Amino acid sequence: MQAFTQLNGLVVPLDRANVDTDAIIPKQFLKSIKRAGFGPNAFDEWRYLDHGEPGMDNSKRPLNPDFSLNQPRYQGASVLLARENFGCGSSREHAPWALLDYGFRAIIAPSFADIFFNNCFKNGILPITLPAEQVDALFQEVEPTEGYRLLIDLESQTIKTPRGQQYSFDVDAFRKHCLLNGLDDIGLTLQHVDEIKVFEARHKAAQPWLFN
């Protein structure tokens, strides 16, 4: 998993509350269990004017010009600014896979659905919860300001705006450690690889018939 330390990212606003995981990545794309390749279908039903299916050439599909992610000024955005209860609905881990594959490393919202919130950390995305009034202030700044970027520092747990305003956010110490060091569940397990090898050798010596 890619470590997250500091991000100076272009911000794209998604001014909708209760965005569920089916909107983030529709159910027809869940057939694959590979973590990569979902980015072109993130927000598929809002992003395109036709119905999407796996295997389609997305470069030839008609885009919805009113959807913020399709506007030229937001191309290359790595910070998603959203409203309350982001990531609600089903527990599909494909949702953070799609957002990460699109290019998002951080999501800012007043609140998140619990399972989606946990899945973000496990996939290298930093979900940041800010008070609604601070999120409102960011929306008011990003929409009239082309090229609006935020400097997000995980170590200091701060967000700095182009105007010099600074916001602080909370993050669980263990999750912070994992993100700073690029550790997903597999990475955490591999930190104990020497102990695992000793256990396996002892287990094989004690019960060799299991390994024939």
Look at residue 189 in the predicted model and tell me its pLDDT.
60
pLDDT digits (tens, 9 = 90+) for 144-197: 999 999 999 999 999 999 999 999 999 999 999 999 999 876 666 656 567 767
pLDDT digits (tens, 9 = 90+) for 82-112: 999 999 998 899 999 999 999 999 999 999 9
pTM over 0.75: yes
d(CA 82, CA 125): 14
Does residue 22 have a pLDDT over 70?
A: yes
Amino acid at residue number 132: A
Q: Give the tokens for residue 41.
A: 């279908």
Look at residue 80 in the predicted model and tell me its pLDDT.
98
Task: Give the CATH number of domain 6-19+76-181.
Answer: 3.20.19.10
Look at residue 191 in the predicted model and tell me its pLDDT.
61
- DSSP string of the chain, one letter each residue: ----SEEEEEEEE---SS-BHHHHS-GGGTT---SSS-GGGTTHHHHBSS---TT--GGGSPB-TTSGGGSGGGTT--EEE--SSBTBS---THHHHHHHHHT--EEEES-B-HHHHHHHHHTT-EEEE--HHHHHHHHHHHTTSTT-EEEEETTTTEEE-TTS-EEE----HHHHHHHHHT--HHHHHHTTHHHHHHHHHHHHHH-GGGG-
Which are the contacts of 57, defined by CB distance < 8 A and separation ≥ 6? Answer: none
The domain locations on the chain are: 6-19+76-181
CA angle 146, 110, 167 (to 5 degrees): 65
Confidence of residue 115 (pLDDT cuts 50, 70, 90): very high
How many Å from the N-terminal Cα to the C-terminal Cα in the chain? 35
Amino acid at residue number 25: I
Q: Give the tokens for residue 6.
A: 């500091």
pLDDT digits (tens, 9 = 90+) for 43-95: 999 999 999 999 999 999 999 999 999 999 999 999 999 999 999 998 899 99
Look at residue 210 in the predicted model and tell me its pLDDT.
76
